Every structure is written in structure tokens, then in C-alpha cells.
A and B are shown apart, each in its own frame.
Chain A
Amino acid sequence: MKAFSARAGLLLGLAFRNMLRNPRRSILTLSAISVGVWSCTSLAALARGVGAEMARDAIYNLTGHIQIHAPDYVEDPSIEHRFKWPNQKINRLLKEIDTAGIAVRVRVPAVVASERETRSVTLVGIDPAQEQGLSFIGDKISAGDLFSAAGKSGIVIGRALLDELETKQGKRVVLLSQNTKNEIADRGFRITAVFDAELESTEKSYVFVSREAAQTMLGMQGEVSEIAVTLKDKDKLHEYVTRLKQALPEFEVHSWRELEPLVTALNSIQNGFLFLWYLIVIVTVAFGLVNTLFMAIYERTYEIGLTQAIGFSPLMVLFEVVFESFYLLISGAIIGNILALLTNLWLKDGVDVSAFARGTEMIGVSSMIYPDQRISDLVAVNILVLIIGIAGSVYPAWRASRLTPVEAMGRRE
């Protein structure tokens, strides 16, 4: 093509000046594009924040990144599905992967009874030192020390459960569960500490004793229910899970995504809704842009004829309109991105959704949401805006390019 770069330069210059020609209309169109981009990216940041919070809570809620169990434990988490510990093979394999923490637990269904109330719970026998930084229990003790005062006879329960049992710290409760001989084992524990969790359901679901105490009570000496592992690099989750599954066929190895299917499903649904939202907003914005371009073309019909008369080809007319649309889209996208980043900055300390605590707790979200603006979302929104916007502008541009010079110049009269 003759003097391609000179023509491209001319078209880009003309398109830019055309955009500035009707400032009010261009500002309105830019505003629509900016608000569209801003709403998509900001909503994505909040939704990702919710998703990340859900995942973080799920992992922190005793799950870890990877868990190892005896076969069938996940389907039936009872005392029957336990395994011997220590296990040299597992120890060696865990040393080969980049772990941030490893917690070995006894974890069985149980009933806890105070003088007044009885509740079904999950009894978790832990080594407190292993839980530090790995699960909430190591970090959430709000009153008392973990087992220190009462040693093997200490129990830690959640604040909500404490209320339901109508008891208080320092008092005794009785734990009942099935032991390895399929008999009912019971034992009294003194409440040595109380934990607060983000979710009330967590406070009601778990009671913690030392692993040794749980093993003694249940007759599980030298045996445990699960190993929870957290990773330094969560991106290697799939690789490590696959490796452990292959190396430990006699065990069940699961990633947190498999253990928390609700969180995984909600994240997938969220991705779908986000994409749908992008499409709705961006297509709406594109319609506005197309309308603007039609108006601009209608106003400039004579001029389109004139430029064709003195040398513009139909393709150049098309590109002139598309370039104008490109400028509007790029400018709108830049403003929208800046607004989104400012919004994230403004909300960096979190959005308090405690007013909706019951609703958010149902999906495992705490009362604060922190925006999580991901580059991938910014890129996706901007690319979608450009592609859909440009695609939309091709139609009015094509219509303009179909006008013959005589038709276009005749329309003025």
C-alpha cells in the first residue's frame, strides 16, 4: 500500500481531532466507557477478594493446602479410618516438597456435654506448636493458654459453643466418642482456653485437646487421623498433590479444592458471573459507542464524501471511524482503570460487611472483604472492551465506507 505509514499517521491524526470535535458528546461517551471499565474491574476486585477470603478461610480452617488420610476417611471421618504415625515414607516425601507447615492430628466426631447442654462436635487432637501459622487454632486463642494450665486434661472450645453449653472457662466438660474398640469412650476436660473464629459456625463445630490426650482417650496410641500440610508456594499445589497421590497409593491425598468443593464451586460460579457481568456492561457500553459513532458519521457525511472525492479509499474511511472509536475506547479504559485503582486504594483497609454477617457466613466469608485486584482481570476487561468496542464500531464505519462520494456530498443539500 502506497505510503502506508503516512496514511496511517494522517488517519490517526484526523480521528483524534474528530474525537475532540464535539467535546460534550465525547466526554459522555468516555464517561460511559470509563464507568463500564471501572465497574467491571472494581467488581472483579471485590469478587476476587471474597473468593480469596473464602479460600484463605477454608485453608486456614484446619484444611491446609493438602491433607493425607487413611482410605475412605473423607467420606466417613470416623475413628475406623486412621493410620499409624510416624510413617517414614510420608516423612521422606514431605521433606521433598516445599512445606510451610505440617500438622498431624486426631480428628473424630464426638459429643461434648456441660452440666446443662450437650452438642455434637468434631474432636481435634492437636500439637499446638504445629498449628501455629497453619490453622486458626494456633492464632485465635482469646482467653487462656492452649492446654498449658491443665496439660493433658485441658480442652479449648469456641466462644459460641461456650455460650450454647452455658458454661465458662475453667469449668469442666465431658467428651464422648467411639474408641478403637467400637466402645463409647468418655473423659472429662477442663476448659483452659476459648477461641474466637471469623465464622460462628467454626466456633460451634470444633473442640481441641492435645493429640496425646485424644490418642489416650480413644485408644489411638501411635495412630492419627490426618496430616495437614501448607505450602510455601501455593502455585505448586497441583504438582505436589499429584506427586503425593502417585507416591502414596495406600493413602488418600486431597488438595484443599477437593476437600472444600463448595468454595471451589463458588469460585467457578463467581468466575462465570464475572464474565457475564463483563459482557453485559461492555456490550451496553459498545451500543452507546456505536450510537455515538452513527451520530458523528451522520454529522460528517458531507465531509466523508469530500475526503473520498479527494483521495480517501473506502477502506480509509472505515479506518478513520474505527480509529476514532479506538481513541475513545483507550481513553475511557485508561480513566476507568485509574478510577478502579483509586477505588482499591480507598478500600484497601477492607469493606465492612458485618451488617450482612449471617448471609456472608453462609458462604464462608468473614465480615471484612479486601479488594483483590488481579492483573488478569484488568487485562481481560480491557481486552474485552477494546475487542467488543472495535467490533461494534466496525458496523457504522462500514456503513460510512459504503457511501459513494456523490451520495455523501449530496446528503448535505
Chain B
Amino acid sequence: MSHTVIVEHVSKVYRQGELDVPALTDISLVIDAGGFVSLHGPSGSGKTTLLNIIGGLDRPTAGDVIVAGKSLNSLSRSELAELRLDRIGFVFQSYNLIPVLSALENVEFIMQLQGVPDDERRERAMAVLKEVGLGGMEKRRPAQLSGGQQQRVAVARAIVSNPDIVLADEPTANLDSKTSAKLLELMQKMNQERGVTFVFSTHDPLVMKYARRLIALSDGRVVDDQSAGK
């Protein structure tokens, strides 16, 4: 099985005034293609920081991350942006969508940046919106969608361009349990049918129930890493 992400001895230290606050300490792990992985732990355990570093949104103080065979440390900000565009999908906790764009346009956003022709772009975006259960809501702006619907649009946007990996930062944090379950089923379906790798940061037990690999973090260190059911 190929490796989608390799994390090599990553540490992250934040400077707060006169103090150095370690957020991650010497983390190494490998995420295989097709994985459905949760990074879980209490608040402040470093799961969002790790997710940000894997996604090239933040840089480690030490160590490196390899995504799709590329060392993130070697990439400029623009090159990181290109990598995120082509290889990584993101789903955030909330406010995932661009408010001035409709659901369809939000889903088309990444493909438009990638230069996908208009017709193909529209067709793919419509299809994936239908797939996530939002057929008929294409023209709605984010403000006209519920929280769960917005997260579905975000998932649609994240997967529509067939990225290597989707990073989801507490995607169910603002959803009720029923909506959370529906969203997780959707992502599980995408993982199984499309083979997209998903990595979540979460402290939601429901998410952990769906994950096939559970990586526990505490005080910036990996304290447990096991496959579901073991």
C-alpha cells in the first residue's frame, strides 16, 4: 500500500511572549492511501496543529512532512498553495464556504482554479452535490443552508477534484448527532467508493466510531495508534 502522508519527527513550538510553548513534540507517523484516520485527544493536545502542518497550512519548527512524495519544507508559499489545490481537500469545523458564492460555485471553486473547462466543471459539481444529497440546492448561498448542508457542500468541494487526501478539522463539532452521523456516513462512502484518504482531528466519539485507525495525541505527542477493533 502506498503512503499518502509521511510525518517525520515533526515538532512545533509557539512563541507566546517570552515563553516557548511546545504544541507538537517529535511526531512521526505514516498515513496510507485510502485510510480513514482520526487524530483524537483533548483540547490542546496538538491534533489541529498536526492537521495544519500535514495540510501545509502551517510549518513545523523541526521535522518534515511528505505529501504525495513532496517535502513540504522545500516548498514556497505559492508552491504549497498549488499542492493544496491539487492534492489536498479541506473540511473545517465551520465557515467552510465562501459566502458570496452559491453552493454550486463553492464546489466549482477548486476546479475553476485548476482550469477545468466550464462544462466539465459544472457537470462534475452538479453530480457531486447530488451525491452528497444536495441536488436542487445548487443555487443557494451558504447563508441559505443549514450547518449540516454547509458541511456537505464542504465535503463535496473537498472531494470533487479527486485529491489524494482530505483533512477534516473537527467537521462535526457544530452539528447535532444525527447530522454528524449523516456527514460521517457520507465521508465513509466517499472513502470506500472513491478511495479518498480522510484524516480527521476530533474529540467526537462518533467520529472515532467510524474511523478505521485511531491516533491518540496528548500534550503534543502520539500516545496511541491503533486500528479500529484492535
**Which parts of A363-413 form the interface with B (CB within 8 Å)?**
404-406, 409, 412
Residue of B nearest to A302 (CB): B95
- Which chain B positions have C-beta within 8 A of A314? 77-78, 81
B82 at the interface (CB under 8 A from A): yes
Say yes or no: is B175 at the interface (Cβ < 8 Å to chain A): no
Answer whether A308 and B81 are a contact pair too, CB < 8 Å, given A6-B112, A10-B112, A406-B58: yes
Q: Would you call A116 an interface residue if the criterion is a C-beta within 8 Å of the partner chain's C-beta atoms?
A: no
Asked whether B223 is an interface residue with its Cβ less than 8 Å from the other chain, the reply is no
Of A14-22, A27-35, A175-183, the one touching chain B: A14-22
CB neighbors of A among B47-74 (8 A): 52, 55, 57-58
A137 to B229, CA, bound (A): 111
Closest to B82 in A: A313
What chain B residues lie within 8 Å of A311 (beta carbons)?
81-82, 84-85, 109-110, 113-114
- How many angstroms between the C-alpha atoms of A307 and B97 in the bound complex? 9
Within the complex, the shortest CB–CB distance from B116 to chain A, in Å, comes to: 8
Contact residues in A for B82 (Cβ distance below 8 Å)? 2, 311, 313
Interface size band for B: 20 to 34
Cβ-neighbour of A412 out of B58, B95, B96 (below 8 A): B95
Chain A, 301-338, contact with B by CB distance < 8 Å: what is the 0/1 string?
A: 01100111111111110000000000000000000000
Closest residue to B84 on the A side, CB-wise?
A: A311
Shortest Cβ gap from A306 to chain B (Å): 7
Inter-chain contact A3/B57, CB cutoff 8 Å:
no
Contact with A along B77-90 (1 / 0, CB 8 A): 11001101100011
Binds A, one of B98-106, B202-210, B211-219: B98-106
The distance from the CB of A368 to the nearest CB of chain B, in whole angstroms, is: 51
Distance of A308 Cα from B85 Cα, bound (Å): 9
Residue of B58, B85, B113 touching A6 (CB-CB under 8 A): B113
Q: Does B157 contact A (CB under 8 A)?
A: yes
Q: Is A245 an interface residue (CB 8 A)?
A: no
**Which listed residue, A2, A18, A409, touches B115 by the CB 8 Å rule?**
A2
Is the pair A309, B113 in contact by a Cβ cutoff of 8 Å? no
**Complex interface bits, B109-128 against A, C-beta within 8 A gives 1, otherwise 0:** 11011111000000000000
CA A346 – CA B113 in complex, angstroms?
A: 49
* A6-B115, A309-B57, A405-B57 known; A18+B100 contact, CB < 8 A: yes
Q: B78 — nearest CB in chain A belongs to which residue?
A: A313
The minimal Cβ–Cβ distance linking B229 to chain A, given in whole angstroms, is 33
Q: Is the interface of A mostly helix, strand, loop or mixed?
A: helix
Q: Which of A310, A312, A313, A405 has its CB near the most chain B CB atoms (within 10 A)?
A: A310
- CA distance in complex: A14, B108 (Å): 13
A339 to B157, CA, bound (A): 45
A404–B57 contact, CB under 8 A?
yes
Chain A residues with CB under 8 A of B101: 14, 17
What is the bound-complex CA distance between A353 and B115, given in angstroms? 62
Contact A309 B114 (CB under 8 A): no
Distance from A205 Cβ to chain B, minimum over Cβ atoms (Å): 69
Cα A7 to Cα B113 in complex, Å, equals: 5
A19 to chain B, nearest CB (A): 10
Expressed in whole angstroms, the minimum distance between the Cβ of B171 and any Cβ of chain A is: 14
- Residues on the A chain within 8 Å of B112, using CB: 3, 6-7, 9-10
- A303 → B minimal CB distance (Å): 6
Which B residues touch A412, using CB under 8 A? 95
**Contact of B55 with A309 in the complex, beta carbons under 8 Å:** yes
Residues of A within 8 A of B55 (CB): 309
Complex Cα–Cα for A308 and B95 (A): 14
Given A18-B100, A21-B100, A404-B57: A310 and B115 within 8 A (CB)?
A: no
Q: Give bound CA distance, A406 to B53, whole Å.
A: 10
Interface residues of A in 203-254 (CB under 8 A from B): none
- The answer to whether residues A14 and B100 also contact, given A311-B110, A314-B78 and a CB cut-off of 8 A, is yes
| Residues in A neighbouring B157, C-beta threshold 8 A | 310
Q: Which residue on chain B has the smallest CB distance to residue A311? A: B85
Q: Which residue of A lies closest to B105 (CB)?
A: A13
Question: Contact between A17 and B96 (Cβ–Cβ < 8 Å)?
Answer: no
Interface residues of B (CB under 8 A from A): 52, 55, 57-58, 77-78, 81-82, 84-85, 89-90, 92, 95-96, 98-101, 109-110, 112-116, 157
List, sorted by A's number, 8 A–B pairs whose CB atoms are closer than 8 Å.
A6-B112, A14-B101, A21-B99, A303-B95, A303-B99, A310-B109, A312-B113, A404-B58
> A residues engaging B (CB < 8 A)?
2-3, 6-7, 9-10, 14, 17-18, 20-21, 302-303, 306-316, 404-406, 409, 412
Beyond the given A303-B98, A306-B95, could you list 12 further A-B residue pairs with CB under 8 A, ordered by the A residue number? A6-B115, A6-B116, A17-B101, A21-B100, A303-B95, A306-B96, A308-B81, A310-B85, A310-B157, A311-B109, A313-B77, A316-B81
Closest 6 CB pairs of A and B: A3-B115, A311-B85, A17-B100, A313-B81, A405-B57, A313-B78
